[in-house]
Amino acid sequence: MDWARNGQDGRELGRTEAYDAVILDLGLPDISGLDILKYWRARGIEHPVLILTSRNAWTEKVEGLNAGADDYVGKPVEAGEIAARLHALIRRRHGRADPVLRRGAIELRPSEGSVLVGGKTVDLTAQELRILHYLMQRPGRIVSEPEIADHVYDMDSPRQSNGIQVYVGRLRRKLGRDVIRTYRGMGYRFE
């Protein structure tokens, strides 16, 4: 997760980074959130955007949605609702309505943070869960280590040079050796 302190930084992060979803406030100190959204959409930037704002008039909601927002929530709101809405946006982006990811004998429930293999719960660390979730959302696709790292580490977290390799090794031990395949020099694919 990245956090921009102002509209200028947010606009640039949204332009240069590939996000699973964005929470955008309209009342930013230097640039209107609506102008940022229009900027992204005019350039073909398509990450799902949830507007979170204190502007609750129906006309403002319509304006935000017509500008390209995928969802619009007025403050005050509970954190659990925001999390659920983000999960729904991300699922729809990947063409899924069901919140549970199922691939073979593996079942991942992101909202619960749980994984089952053959119906039995498997304990994963938070980072292992994030990596598995990212790979399971991209079945059949080879995903590079830098791409995985960009999505599972925040900008300020220290990264070990072989961190992703270590986590993938742990996932194989816990889920099965053939679950994640390595493509030398390219990355990993969830089988």
Supply φ then ψ for residue 174, to 5 degrees: -85, -30
pLDDT of residue 161: 67
Among candidate residues 37, 67, 33, 35, the one with its CA nearest the CA of residue 53: 33
Q: Beta-carbon neighbour count of residue 100 at 10 Å?
A: 14
Distance CA 10, CA 29 (A): 11
Among candidate residues 48, 11, 3, the one with its CA nearest the CA of residue 32: 11
Return all residues near 14 (Cβ < 8 A) that are at least 6 apart: 22, 36, 40, 45, 47
Task: Give 91's strand partners.
Answer: none
- Give pLDDT tens digits along the chain (191 positions): 788 888 999 999 999 888 889 999 998 888 999 999 999 998 988 889 999 999 888 899 999 999 999 999 999 999 989 988 998 888 787 666 567 888 888 999 887 889 999 999 999 998 999 999 999 888 888 999 988 888 887 666 666 668 899 999 999 999 998 999 999 989 999 98
DSSP structural state of residue 66: H
Task: Give 53's strand partners.
Answer: 74
pLDDT of residue 150: 82
Q: Which domains does the chain have, with CATH numbers?
A: 7-93 (3.40.50.2300), 101-190 (1.10.10.10)
* CB 65 within 8 Å of CB 47: no
pLDDT of residue 96: 63
